[in-house]
Structure 1
Amino acid sequence: MDELDLIRNRAETTGFAPAEHLTPARERLLAAARGERRSRPRRWLWIAGGSVGLAAAITAVVALAPTEQVGVGPSVAHADPVKVLTAAASSALKEPAKPPRPDQFLYVKTEQADHHFREVWFSVDGTRDGLIGTTKIGGCRNGKAPNYGTNDPRKEGMLEDCTPKPVYRTDLPTTADAMLAYLNSQPGTQKDNPTAMGKDVWGLVDEQVLQPASYAALFEAAAKVPGLTALDHVTDGAGRPGVGITFPVPPGSSPNAKPIVMVFDATTYQFLGTTDSAVTVKTYVDEVGQRP
């Protein structure tokens, strides 16, 4: 077996990166080889073990070095995306149900990939005023909610008709088929549109709280979305490593359309966030502005 056979066999398991990604890695490899030849008379096995040395060196640079060092993008995971989401559903069912008090607030802190942070305080039962950053959110009481953050000072605090929107969701389905039907029924959602489905799934796990059975149904419903791919060696917005599930953009989308990539812990399969943002704190507090 020559060096091309060795490289070809390695490529079948790891895959090749695009040529433009390999230029920096190739330059570092050659530079390292030149330095090694200068410092060691035995010439680093380039002659004594030419075929094996060449294939091993290329494999080491392309397959083993951290992706940020060689410019190679996330690799396709060996795991099936359906299996990853099914494992996430099983993990969700193991979480104990911890119903909050109706008068509490859900506090969520997310970190963006650019290191900016977002903090929200949402009323558990939807009747109390909350916060998104420093902007007040009117709670819905007796069918009326105060209007905050308007561009017209005259309308600030004026009451508008409303329906309470609890952030602790007890109204969602607990089976995959029923959850899939629910997701497809949401306003503005195109049936079986993977990008829209990914946004809806993300919206439910990001800054809301579901019961364990509903979380499990959500991930099992997501597993039914066609065209999903699993990615190894991705990180969430806070830099935490995990396995990514990509909800692709449909054919004919804008060139600027970006797929949703949800990130799960590769061991526990708990939801971490997306490649753009990370849920770093999610808990209940007793007052708006309170931090755990």
Structure 2
Amino acid sequence: MDDLDLIRERAQAVGFAPAEQLAPARERLLAAARGERPHRSRRWFWAAGTAIGLAAAITAVVALAPADRVGIGAGVAHADPVKVLTEAASAALREPATPPRPDQFLYVKTEYPDHHVREIWLSVDGTRDGLLAKDTPLPGCHDGKAPYSGPYDPKKKGTLEDCRPTPAYRADLPTTADAMLAYLRTIPGGKDSVSTMGKNVLGLVGERALTPASYAAVYQAAAKAPGLKALDHVTDGAGRPGVGITFPVPPGSSPEAQPIVLVFDATTYQFLGTEDSAVTVKTFVDEAGQRP
């Protein structure tokens, strides 16, 4: 490992201080070195021990800044939300476009911090019966009819009602940012707030399957939302590290209201989940209840 590798490794471990704090921190560090070390020690610091000295210097300068200002935890982010979402769109376009068969099921496994696991099997075309957690049936829409699912009414138990299939695979969604933005606003609540838009985005990329072009359009549309923020060094519900995109809560919301945070891999920009959930498996299977 050469000097630059050591510096890079150290910097990734501790993060960087904001630019406005680097200059005074550096001066304090150099002043301390000049006043406390004899000439020989200073020479070793900058010459004989260059790699160790520079790594220590980086650590010292960072340590002089408050912890919540150097990218530790969910402090001030260095990432730009528009750039992250644009990169996520590019990553989506690189995925293979392999449509499933209509008789297949979308299997999604979601993990949560409390070790709870959610498994769901959704009919690709919406006409077949799916499953939630292996034991809860999710009736499909057969020939325009489905079992009654409204408010409890003993007289309607076991009866059928008119329905429209809700397919898990949406090949019909827009493939441009503007058209997708317009679509997101047609979803109930989509015009109300940026927070609701974030939830609608999660609904599409979490437990639905889209074409690569539509996935990209979702992220490009989301990038147009006002007030987005990026958070460095966040983790999803399974503890996987990434960068978070925050969709702010509406003005006047309760102090307890928390913004939705979508988490993306900081290197590949693939969607991981949220701070409270992690999509760890998402694929197509042939039968409801089948695991890949």
TM-score range, shorter chain: 0.7 to 0.9
Helix, strand or coil for the counterpart of 2:110? strand
Structure 1 residues 151-183: Cα deviation after superposition (integer angstroms, max 9, x where no partner): 667755431210001110011110000111111
Contact 2:108–2:281 (CA<8 Å) still a contact in 1? yes
> Which residue of structure 1 aligns with residue 172 of structure 2?
171
Helix, strand or coil for the counterpart of 2:142? coil
Deviation at 1:146, TM superposition (A): 2.1
Deviation at 1:73, TM superposition (A): 4.0
Instruction: Give the distance between the partners of 2:61 and 2:252, measured in 1 at CA.
Output: 41
> Which residue of structure 2 aligns with residue 189 of structure 1?
190
2:101 is equivalent to residue 101 of structure 1 = yes
Helix, strand or coil for the counterpart of 1:82? helix
Helix, strand or coil for the counterpart of 1:189? coil
Deviation at 1:184, TM superposition (A): 1.0
> Which residue of structure 1 aligns with residue 202 of structure 2?
202
Contact 1:148–1:157 (CA<8 Å) still a contact in 2? no
Structure 1 residues 252-288: Cα deviation after superposition (integer angstroms, max 9, x where no partner): 1122211010000111100000000000010111111
Structure 1 residues 35-67: Cα deviation after superposition (integer angstroms, max 9, x where no partner): xxxxxxxxxx9x936xx99x9287189659x99
> Which residue of structure 2 aligns with residue 56 of structure 1?
60
2:12 is equivalent to residue 12 of structure 1 = no
> Which residue of structure 2 aligns with residue 246 of structure 1?
246
Within-5 A mapping of 1:127-146: 127-133=127-133, 134-146=135-147
Deviates more, 1:276-285 or 1:250-259: 250-259
Instruction: Give the distance between the partners of 1:289 and 1:149, measured in 2 at CA.
Output: 25
> Which residue of structure 2 aligns with residue 158 of structure 1?
159
Structure 1 residues 49-89: Cα deviation after superposition (integer angstroms, max 9, x where no partner): 6xx99x9287189659x99xxxx641232121100000000
Helix, strand or coil for the counterpart of 1:202? helix
Instruction: Give the distance between the partners of 1:73 and 1:157, measured in 2 at CA.
Output: 52
Alignment CA distance shift 1:196-1:162 (3 Å): same
> Which residue of structure 1 aligns with residue 81 of structure 2?
81
Alignment CA distance shift 1:209-1:60 (3 Å): farther
Contact 2:17–2:62 (CA<8 Å) still a contact in 1? no
Cα-Cα RMSD: 3.1
Deviates more, 1:273-282 or 1:72-81: 72-81
Helix, strand or coil for the counterpart of 2:196? helix
* 2:188 partner amino acid: P
Alignment CA distance shift 1:181-1:155 (3 Å): same
Alignment CA distance shift 1:14-1:122 (3 Å): farther
Instruction: Give the distance between the partners of 1:140 and 1:283, measured in 2 at CA.
Output: 22
Instruction: Give the distance between the partners of 1:203 and 1:110, measured in 2 at CA.
Output: 13
Q: How many residues align?
A: 248
Within-5 A mapping of 1:13-32: 13=19
Deviation at 1:203, TM superposition (A): 0.4
Contact 1:104–1:285 (CA<8 Å) still a contact in 2? yes
Structure 1 residues 234-268: Cα deviation after superposition (integer angstroms, max 9, x where no partner): 00000000011000112111222110100001111
Question: Percent identity over the alignment?
Answer: 68
Deviates more, 1:152-161 or 1:216-225: 152-161
* 1:185 partner amino acid: T
Q: What TM-score, normalized by structure 1, do the two folds share?
A: 0.76
Contact 1:234–1:275 (CA<8 Å) still a contact in 2? yes
Instruction: Give the distance between the partners of 2:121 and 2:98, measured in 1 at CA.
Output: 18
> Which residue of structure 2 aligns with residue 283 of structure 1?
283
Deviation at 1:98, TM superposition (A): 1.2
Contact 1:106–1:124 (CA<8 Å) still a contact in 2? yes
Structure 1 residues 116-148: Cα deviation after superposition (integer angstroms, max 9, x where no partner): 110000000000011122211110011101247
Helix, strand or coil for the counterpart of 1:76? coil
* 2:167 partner amino acid: P
Q: Return 5+ residue gaps in structure 2 as ranges.
A: 1-15, 22-32, 38-55
